[in-house]
Structure 1
Amino acid sequence: MAPRIAVLGCGYWGSNHIRTLKGLGALQAVSDADHARAERIAKEHGVEAVAVDDLFTRSDIDGIVMALPAQLHAQMAMRAIANGKDVLVEKPIALTVEDAEAEVKAAKDNGRIFMVGHVLRFHPAFEKLMELVKSGELGELRYIHSHRVGLGKFHNENDALWDLAPHDLSMILALTGCEPSEVHGEGTATLDHLSDFAHLHFKFPNGIRGHLFASRLTPYRERRLSVVGSKAMAVFDDMEPFERKLALYNHKVWRNNNAWEFSMAEATHVKYEEGMPLTRELEHFIHCIETRENPRTDGEEAISVLRILTAGTVKHDS
């Protein structure tokens, strides 16, 4: 029998979790502070709507997916863990490193699965990019840059950096295999006191450099991660159609006497296995509950992302 999983938070992203878990045969219940909303969604999917205060002690629930406002994640995750539930917590798992560390420690002390919702780590194009890097297809990694920009969403608590950057930070950490030794951040607020634009610049102990640009006030959408290696370059562009999302460029740059020369190559679009990232993420969560395997996106990764976000949060222009 599949693990019995409840979803806490029936908003936009929580609804996606609910629909996907139902399709996987693992949805047991839904819950929300707005119980009427939970009841409507529960009826749509043929499951029970459980009051938030009753959710954690239910013996017929094995795991809980939490898609809540970020400021509630730590408190709710700790309640779930204390009651023996495995958890998948959406990003960011907390607003401070200290709260995140407390969550992860509680999960370890209680033998619970703790997974963070860094869904793009489960995108098949990114998984293929990881294969290219590990196989040496790109050579030695030199530079990584990511751009995640568009219009919205706007939150009362999270700025562009904290809302958008965790997706790319999780991928950058996976590619580099380590946390940056130096982080420099800049932010600009134009609507209120929260940054609408954010730049992060990184230096890693293995010599890799990188930058990240996130914006919620850009008139066009861009979802692009570029990786520059000593042999080739690759781009994961999530705005492209399926067959063009992952491109490999065998550009060449070399030194000829006292001058640099280069040659450009046409993009090769790399084939990869088709699949929906959220489905693959939740399948992994189910697998980890069943096997007690440590998740690919575990609590330690979530803490690393929070350390970078904290280091990159600086005074911004207003």
Structure 2
Amino acid sequence: MKPRLAVLGCGYWGSNHIRTLKGLGVLHAVSDLNKARAEGFASEQDCLAIEPEALFSRDDVDAIVLALPPQFHAQMATRAVQAGKDVLVEKPVALTVADAERAVAAAKAAGRIFMVGHVLRFHPAFEKLKSLVDAGELGEVRYIHSHRLGLGKFHTENDALWDLAPHDLSMILAITGTEPIEVRGEGAALLDHLSDFAHLHMVFPNNLRGHLFTSRLNPYRERRLTVVGTKAMAVFDDVEPWERKLAVYRHAVWQDSGHWAFTANEPSYVTVEQGMPLTRELEHFLECIRTRREPATDGEEAIRVLRILTAGTVPHDRFRDKSESA
């Protein structure tokens, strides 16, 4: 039998889960505090609409996808696993490390699957990039940097760092296989008390360096992860079309008579099998439910991401208009 899944939270990203799960043939119910919204999706997708308070006790729901404002994720995930449900929790899994640790511990105690929605880990271009790194095609990785920039979305609880960075941090952690030993963050709030752009600087063991830049007040859209190795450099650019999403640059740098020299070569584009990351993520979740294996993006990884976010979060004041008195 296929598992019967419910989606709690019928907002923008929850609606994507709803439609994708329907396509996979496992959508059983939807739930939202906005009853009319849930009933609208239930009618559209031919499934049940269940009140949030009634959802956890339903015997006909095997697993729940949580796509809520992040301040509710840990509490609802804990309720779900204690009620015997497997869960996929959208990012960020919580707003504090302690809350995330409690939710993950509850899942382990209950023997339930706990997966986190770091969806870009399931992007075919990233999976191919990871395979190149693992095969030594880039040599020893020395530096990783990511840019995730654009205009919006604006949240009441999430700033640019916590909203945009989890995906990139998950990918960086997957490539490095370890946590940073040093994290330094900086950011600024232009609209209200939440930062609208942020930088993270990270130092990993073996002196591998990482840098992350996020912004929700940028005039153009950028979704780029760059990995610099001793043999080659690779760029995963999700704004590019499929045939150009993953590029490898085999530049050469050497010393000649005490001076540095280099040759800049044109990129070679790596063939990437097309596929929707969200579909692949949910297929992975269904496979974990079936086999009881640990997800690739499990609760422990989510805690590592939160530790970096917490270490890189710094207090900042809103920029004041220069005409204001000091």
User: TM-score higher than 0.5 here?
Assistant: yes
- How far is the alpha carbon of 1:257 from its aligned partner? 2.8
Q: Which residue of 2 aligns with 1:314?
A: 314
- Equivalent AA in structure 2 for residue 35 of structure 1: K
Counterpart CA distance in 2 for 1:114 and 1:273 is: 28
- Secondary structure at the aligned position of 2:206 is classed as coil
- Secondary structure at the aligned position of 2:207 is classed as coil
RMSD after superposition: 0.7
Counterpart CA distance in 2 for 1:194 and 1:255 is: 46
Residue 47 of structure 1 pairs with residue 47 of structure 2: yes
Residue pair 1:187, 1:317 contacting (<8 A) in 2 also? no
Q: Deviations over 1:34-75 (max 9, x none)?
A: 011100100000000000000001111110000000000011
Residue 183 of structure 1 pairs with residue 202 of structure 2: no
Q: Which residue of 2 aligns with 1:125?
A: 125
Q: Which residue of 2 aligns with 1:305?
A: 305
Q: Which residue of 2 aligns with 1:226?
A: 226
Counterpart CA distance in 1 for 2:214 and 2:40 is: 35
Residue pair 2:242, 2:272 contacting (<8 A) in 1 also? no
Counterpart CA distance in 2 for 1:254 and 1:61 is: 61
- How far is the alpha carbon of 1:316 from its aligned partner? 2.5
- How far is the alpha carbon of 1:196 from its aligned partner? 0.4
Between 1:125-134 and 1:203-212, the stretch displaced more is 203-212
Residue pair 1:4, 1:61 contacting (<8 A) in 2 also? yes
Tell me how many residue pairs correspond in the alignment. 318
Counterpart CA distance in 1 for 2:132 and 2:66 is: 33
Q: Superposed, which structure 2 residues align to 1:1-318 within 5 Å?
A: 1-318=1-318
- Equivalent AA in structure 2 for residue 80 of structure 1: A
- How far is the alpha carbon of 1:296 from its aligned partner? 0.3
Counterpart CA distance in 2 for 1:169 and 1:275 is: 22
Counterpart CA distance in 2 for 1:298 and 1:206 is: 25
Residue pair 1:7, 1:67 contacting (<8 A) in 2 also? yes
Q: Deviations over 1:103-151 (max 9, x none)?
A: 1111111100000000000000000000000000000000000000010
Q: Deviations over 1:72-91 (max 9, x none)?
A: 00110011011000000000
- How far is the alpha carbon of 1:254 from its aligned partner? 1.1
- Secondary structure at the aligned position of 1:3 is classed as coil
- How far is the alpha carbon of 1:206 from its aligned partner? 2.9
- Equivalent AA in structure 2 for residue 195 of structure 1: S
Counterpart CA distance in 1 for 2:51 and 2:129 is: 42
Q: Deviations over 1:278-299 (max 9, x none)?
A: 0000000000000000000000
- How far is the alpha carbon of 1:317 from its aligned partner? 4.6
Counterpart CA distance in 2 for 1:7 and 1:317 is: 37
Counterpart CA distance in 1 for 2:93 and 2:26 is: 23
- Equivalent AA in structure 2 for residue 118 of structure 1: H
Counterpart CA distance in 1 for 2:216 and 2:238 is: 17
- Secondary structure at the aligned position of 1:206 is classed as helix
| TM-score (normalizing by structure 2) | 0.97
- How far is the alpha carbon of 1:256 from its aligned partner? 1.7
- Equivalent AA in structure 2 for residue 122 of structure 1: F
- Equivalent AA in structure 1 for residue 284 of structure 2: H
Structure 1 gaps of 5+ residues are none
Residue pair 2:193, 2:317 contacting (<8 A) in 1 also? no
- Secondary structure at the aligned position of 1:87 is classed as strand
- How far is the alpha carbon of 1:197 from its aligned partner? 0.8
- How far is the alpha carbon of 1:19 from its aligned partner? 0.2
Residue pair 1:198, 1:213 contacting (<8 A) in 2 also? yes
- Equivalent AA in structure 2 for residue 63 of structure 1: A
Structure 2 gaps of 5+ residues are 319-326
- Secondary structure at the aligned position of 1:115 is classed as strand
Q: Deviations over 1:175-198 (max 9, x none)?
A: 100010000000111111110010
- Equivalent AA in structure 2 for residue 224 of structure 1: R
- Secondary structure at the aligned position of 2:128 is classed as helix
Residue pair 1:288, 1:295 contacting (<8 A) in 2 also? yes
- How far is the alpha carbon of 1:207 from its aligned partner? 2.1
Counterpart CA distance in 2 for 1:54 and 1:197 is: 39
Counterpart CA distance in 2 for 1:131 and 1:87 is: 28
- Equivalent AA in structure 1 for residue 182 of structure 2: E
